Amino acid sequence: MSDKAAFDDDVTRCAELVQQGDPDRFLATMAAPVAARPVLFALYAFNIELARAPWASQESMIAEMRVQWWRDIGSEIAQGGPVRRHFVATPLGRLLPGDLARHIEEMAEARRWDIYREPFEDEGEFDRYIYATTGGLMWMAAASLGPADEATVRKFAYGVGVSNWLRAIPELVQHKRIPLLDGTPDGLRHLAQKALDQIEQAQRDRKKISREAGSALLSGWQAQALLRQALKSPERVAEGSLGQSEFRRRAGLIWRSSRQRW
């Protein structure tokens, strides 16, 4: 399939959605090879839609139905049959290999946590949430592009997922969620260090990720810097001040993409 054919109107709409709703992943995708962009945009647009589904209504039943809709899309893609018409689901069904689509069910099941206000039961449940959401998304993206070791991808994704989670905490608290098992400074440092360790373990196994698949890991280019900020100054999590300047943000992406150093 030519790049022009792959970038149809639906994929263009997916790209626009990602640009508006997930600017970091949009920049990372634009730093990836042109051939990799259609599937990345379709996956990242799907992730936005799924992440929004639990918040679509204050009625839990309606939110459950929205999440289930995407779960059904995953089943349709996995089964290899026709996929219902939708500007995200349609290109996702065309571009995502069916054997990878089963991870959509894991992502959807994890997102049910967002519907309700109960905290995570324990550290294991929190970890499963991160592995299923960010981990599932990054694994589908990487494996769609080239050979990759799943365990290595998911370790890196865990660190990225935690860094994203820490940035989202002020908004989660505003929505009456309990996002952390231990929100004390020591608890935050423990979580940040654990996430950093996972990233560093993945980076030591960098050779297990092909250059093509590595384009999917560019989306986590800021994770180490943000986690180090949280480790040094955990109060920044509650303040919502984790982040880099626009210059450092863009320069870091350019450096990593040019050297394939996710």
Average pLDDT over residues 142-151: 98
Determine the pLDDT at residue 5. Answer: 53
- 174 has pLDDT over 80: yes
147 pLDDT more than 50: yes
DSSP-derived 3-state class of residue 234 = coil
Structural domain count, the chain:
2
Report pLDDT digits (tens) over 112-137: 999 999 999 999 999 999 999 999 99
pLDDT at 6 over 90: no
Same domain, 149 and 201: yes
Residues 62 and 159 in one domain: no
With 70 as the cut, is the pLDDT of residue 46 above it? yes
Query: What is the enclosing helix (H) or strand (E) of 41?
Result: helix 37-52
Segment 208-215 shows an average pLDDT of 96
Same structural domain for residues 79 and 154?
A: no
Quote the pLDDT of residue 81: 84
In this predicted structure, the answer to whether residue 185 has a pLDDT above a threshold of 50 is yes
Query: Given 77, 96, 115, which residue is the final one in a domain?
Result: 115
Residue 210, pLDDT score: 97
CB 32 within 8 A of CB 257: yes
Are residues 169 and 244 both part of a single domain? yes
* CA–CA separation, 155 and 131 (whole Å): 8
Last residue of a domain, one of 81, 115, 149: 115
* pLDDT of 7: 85
Of residues 44 and 259, which shows the higher confidence score?
44
Domain of 125, CATH number, reads 1.10.600.10
Both 244 and 194 in one domain: the answer is: yes
98 shares a domain with 142: no
156 and 240 housed in the same domain = yes
Residue 78's domain spans which residues? 1-115
Q: Are residues 121 and 250 in the same domain?
A: yes
pLDDT of 145 above 50? yes
- For residues 5 and 28, what is the distance between their CA atoms, to the nearest angstrom? 22
Summarised one tens digit per residue, pLDDT across range 8-20 is: 999 999 999 999 9
Identify which of 82, 162, 152 has the alpha carbon closest to the alpha carbon of residue 129: 162
Name the domain boundary from 87, 115, 143: 115
- pLDDT greater at residue 253 or residue 5: 253
Q: Are residues 132 and 19 in the same domain?
A: no
Residues 101 and 121 both lie in one domain: no
Distance CA 52, CA 171 (A): 13
CB 82 within 8 A of CB 140: no
Contact 260, 35 (CB under 8 A): no
* Torsion (CA) 252, 194, 232, 256 in degrees, nearest 10: -10
In the predicted model, is pLDDT for residue 231 greater than 50? yes
Is residue 134 located within the same domain as residue 258? yes
> Within this chain, do residues 241 and 121 fall inside the same structural domain, yes or no?
yes
